[in-house]
Amino acid sequence: MPDTPPNDPTAGLLAALAAGPDNPALARLVVDACLGAADAAALGRALDLSGPALLADPAQRDAALALLLRAGDDARALAVAAPDSAAALFAQARLKLGEGARDDARALYQRAIALNPALEDAALASELSGKVISLAAARRPSPGPGAQTSIANDDTDADDVVRLLQPAQARIDFAQVGGLDEVKQQIRRRIVTPFLKPSLFERFKRRSGGGILMYGPPGCGKTLLARATAGECGARFFNVAITDVLDMYIGESERKLHAIFETARRQAPAVVFFDEVEAIGGKRQHSREAGAAKLVSQFLTELDGFAQNNSGVLILGATNVPWAVDAAFRRPGRFDRVLFVPPPDEPARRTILQLLLRERPQADGIDAGELARLTSGYSGADLGHLVETAVDEAIEESIEQGREAPLTMQHLRTALKDTRATTLEWLTTARNHARYANQGGQYDEVLDFLKRHGAG
């Protein structure tokens, strides 16, 4: 048996199993320990000792299969799974793909998903369809800002002219977004999972689609969350600038908006993100111009189109002033899910600071926990400004000394004097709307946040 790491909690049990591989009670203990630690490698060693008989208990076998498949241990999963079961077919599909038999692998994968839609794997499906060279290639960050995709202002109907005004950015996921755990969980449940496993949702007659509208103070991560959502889905990210939609000529804004949606449909899978959505989706009764009302109507029409034909396209919107957005956007099939993105709490600020400080030259003794305590009310952007201000001090010191002066806690304490929280003004305004204009409980999340932080 291979040596087990000295701190491996399963080491003693594996040693006992090596001495008595036919002990059913011991086998159950070993499997429970491996599953509890989510240790696929230890489970594999145990299977090598006792064989498939190790998993005599059906519940343990199902959990072990899921663990082995997640770890990519397809050979052992195939040995454990029942013949022609969904798990066995899924493992065979990946093994066949590794051998270069793409057609056989595709047929096996389709049979597996038909039996168990929960096994659906978007990256594997893309590779089987030939859209990517390999799973590893599919997960590589997108190219830098050299090439860019865009939507033309002058000829938005031409299929060969696609101009997205934002340069391509490296792909990120939720692991690179500090804090906001509740919001990420809701997005994962409401958007990412239906996107990655559409067959499972179809089986339950649960329609995926619609969109999510995020609101909260400026600088709290709404755009970053949208980019991370695209990364979690493995989708192209369209960051639509309001200037790409609004036009002084009658009818042009509506035409540009339609072109954006059509481009997203053609280039699915895609996440289309509208920041400052109130600029093109403001309340029509407050508009003095007929053109603004027509643009809102066009936006609603496009969203309704997605409710019927939204395959591979997700719509996210963000606003700092949700009370200015037309109520029609909240109806089912449009922005029917509204999420409050609050200022980060202390643990989230600590995580954000750790991410911001990572890979920078720094001295020992920087205490992210202390900084988090001193920055109550700071947004993620405020924390970024704090770190950048401190970095400027360190760079200036390096220039003066002629050598690299690492970032220190003193630099950060000095920077604290030059920065301030920018969320307080927004929270004051939001509190008034939540108290006096909270129709249907749409701002209950704001009230809950204010009560938890003693500002309700």
SS3 label, residue 239: strand
Name beta bridge partners: 272: 238, 315
pTM above 0.75, yes or no: no
Q: Are 107 and 52 in a shared domain?
A: yes
- What is the domain-level CATH number for residue 361? 1.10.8.60
The stretch 188-208 carries a mean pLDDT of 79
Pick from 322, 340, 358: which residue ends a domain?
A: 340
Nearest to 250 by CA among 298, 291, 281, 279: 291
Distance (Å) of CA 19 to CA 12, 39, 47, 50, 52: 11, 21, 14, 11, 17
Give the mean pLDDT of 286-313: 72
Residues 30 and 121 in one domain: yes
Q: Is 152 exposed, middle or buried (0-12, 13-18, 19+ CB in 10 A)?
A: middle
Residue 122 confidence (pLDDT): 82
What pLDDT score does 456 carry? 53
Does a structural domain hold residue 150?
no
Output the pLDDT for position 407: 94
The answer to whether 91 touches 77, Cβ cutoff 8 Å, is yes
Which pLDDT score, from 0 to 100, does residue 165 have?
35
Six-digit token string for 442: 């749409």
Contacts of 388 (CB under 8 A, 6+ apart): none
Q: Please check whether residue 430 lies inside any domain of the structure.
A: no
- What local confidence, expressed as pLDDT, does residue 234 receive? 82
Identify whether residues 318 and 183 lie together within a single domain.
yes
- Distance from first CA to last CA of the chain, Å, rounded? 61
User: Using a CB cutoff of 8 Å and minimum separation of 24, what contacts does 75-79 make?
Assistant: 76/44, 76/47, 79/47, 79/52
**Interval 247-264 mean pLDDT:** 86
Is residue 145 a part of any domain in this protein?
A: no
* Cβ pair 405, 362 in contact under 8 A: no
Total tally of structural domains belonging to the chain: 3
The pLDDT tens digits of the residues spanning 141-169 come to 444 444 444 443 444 443 433 444 344 46
Nearest to 128 by CA among 116, 113, 115: 113
pLDDT at 134: 45
Q: What is the CATH number of the domain that holds 92?
A: 1.25.40
Residue 94 clears pLDDT 80, i.e. is over it: yes
User: Domain span at residue 287?
Assistant: 174-340
- Do 320 and 239 lie in one domain? The reply is yes
pLDDT for the residue numbered 352: 92
Co-location of 382 and 331 in the same domain: no
CB contact at 8 A, 228 and 316: no
Overall average pLDDT of the 188-212 stretch = 78
Do 334 and 365 belong to one domain? no
pLDDT category at 176 given cuts 50, 70, 90 is: confident
In a shared domain, residues 411 and 287: no
Side chain identity, residue 431: R
* DSSP state letter for 81: S
Between helix 380-401 and helix 346-357 the angle, nearest 10°, is 40
Q: Sheet holding 337-340: strands in order across? A: 236-240, 270-274, 313-319, 211-215, 337-340
